[in-house]
Amino acid sequence: MIFGFNAQSLVGVVLIPALCWALSEARGRFPWRLALGAAAAQAALVALLFGLPPARAIMSGAGAAVDGLNTSTQAGVRFVFGFLSGADGQPYGVTDPRALYIFAFHVLPVILVICALSALLWHWRVLKWLTQAFGLVFEKTMGLRGAPALATAATIFMGQVEGPIFIRGYLASLTRSELFLLLTVGMACVSGSTVVAYATILQGVLPNAAAHVLTASLISAPAGVLLARILVPRDPAAEQAEPLDLQGVKSYESSVDALIKGTGDGLQIVLNVAATLVVFVSLIAMVDGLLGLLPKFGGAPISIERGLGLIFTPLAWAMGVPCREAGAAGSLLGVKLVLTEFSAFFDMAKLAPGVLSDRSRVIMTYALCGFANVASVGINVAGYAVLVPERRGEVAAMVWKAMLGGFLATCMTASVVGALPAALYAH
């Protein structure tokens, strides 16, 4: 520690861009100004959101908002599913109350409600104004053109495929670097609907969980832009200024129409999340079953989780996690990459007390809060094939590198947060 700052986390702040530089398509064009600016912007945003009393009050209020959303959502779940939702009045004796917490009834309905509310806020122009404001910030501070800047901002609120829909008419004319940037930022961020779901999962195990996941969803975008620019540097000569026309973006006829269509969109997301988790958890269990046939290593069966834990332990340490906790943190990173962040957040919530310190839980919350996983590769290829079919092959060729960039972007965000004094965000 140096004046409250954690020098260990600075290893990650330096190491992650350096690793992307080693994999860059043009190592002679490292964006030094953008690298310094992105890290400074992330640190400044964390200091602003957690350091200033008015901002801290707003972020703390996010926890109360999440509680209110959960309570309201569970009222609807109880009405439809009755005792299956885990409500009082079980028709049988309950020996383990923890078994009443069912993902399908406690987390997925929250996504459904938030999608409906997002559509309503879009119709009322609240979300549209926020998106355009953030787009202007990215355009002026990070050198993005109008269309990619707007899509980057929309991705923060709407998600990895929904964000680019805002500039669907411009996707065919984007440069290769800009298209890669959208893929990477989409993997580095999450959607507003899932942010609330993550906060729901982490309630009770992470103080001020809602404030942290909300902050993570905002500040990972600059890291995604930076690492995308390092991996596939921009080509200014290929960029042409085009007037931005938003006439083609989604619209609703009324507030009721927004709620109905938002609910329908949310249902698709809920089904996608549920189906993805069923398939990938099943496949991992299948592989672990096969690995279990091998001789034990270190007195325990070989598994994907153990293997990934070993691989990502150094990265977890570079983010600022102490050595004794780095193995568990590395396993969480592996679970996030292979099984999605939902599984990783659930695993972190179930860890025994003492496995991760409070500070390490904060660091890992930022590292896990992103869509960079194997399932998202397929989601992006399928989504962009519909949005811009003529560039499907180009997207398929870049999407795995974009997944790596998005994964490392959240790790860089975690490193920046870890380097700051713990007292700053311990309120």
Query: Residues of 361-399 as b/e, b for ≥16 C-beta within 10 angstroms?
Result: bbbbbbbbbbbbbebbbebbeebbeebbeebeeebeebb
Q: What are phi and psi of 204, to 5 degrees?
A: 95, -20
280 within a domain of the structure (yes/no): yes
95 within a domain of the structure (yes/no): no
Provide the 3-class DSSP secondary structure of residue 373: coil
Residue 92: exposure state from Cβ atoms within 10 A (0-12, 13-18, ≥19): exposed
Handedness of CA 166, 171, 176, 179 (dihedral sign): positive
The whole-number pLDDT of residue 325 equals 93
Provide the 3-class DSSP secondary structure of residue 24: coil
94 within a domain of the structure (yes/no): no
Cβ(3)–Cβ(191) under 8 Å?
A: no
Q: What is the pLDDT of residues 358-401, one digit of tens each?
A: 899 999 999 999 989 888 888 888 878 877 889 889 998 999 99
**pLDDT classification of 249: cutoffs 50, 70, 90:** low
Provide the 3-class DSSP secondary structure of residue 297: strand
Q: Is the pLDDT of residue 36 over 90?
A: no
240 within a domain of the structure (yes/no): no
Regarding pTM above 0.75, the answer is yes
Q: Which residues contact 79 (CB under 8 A, 6 or more apart)?
A: none
pLDDT top residue among 237 and 24: 24
194 within a domain of the structure (yes/no): yes
pLDDT > 70 fraction of the chain, expressed in percent and rounded: 90
Cβ(163)–Cβ(150) under 8 Å?
A: no
What distance lies between CA 285 and its chain's CA centroid? 24
Rounded to 5°, angle at Cα 87 from 82 and 92: 85
- Mean pLDDT for the chain? 83
How far apart are alpha carbons 394 and 392 in whole angstroms?
A: 5
Residue 275: exposure state from Cβ atoms within 10 A (0-12, 13-18, ≥19): exposed
Count of domains observed in the chain: 1
How far apart are alpha carbons 353 and 167 in whole angstroms?
A: 46
HSE, CB side, 13 Å, CA atoms: give it for residue 373. Answer: 25
338 within a domain of the structure (yes/no): yes
* Helix runs in 292-340, H state only: 304-319, 323-339
Amino acid identity at 167? I
301 within a domain of the structure (yes/no): yes
Expressed as residue numbers, the domain containing 409 is 7-88+100-235+250-424
Query: Residues of 304-329 as b/e, b for ≥16 C-beta within 10 angstroms?
Result: bbbebbeebbebbbbbbbeeebbbbb
Q: What are phi and psi of 249, to 5 degrees?
A: -75, 165
412 within a domain of the structure (yes/no): yes
**pLDDT classification of 227: cutoffs 50, 70, 90:** very high
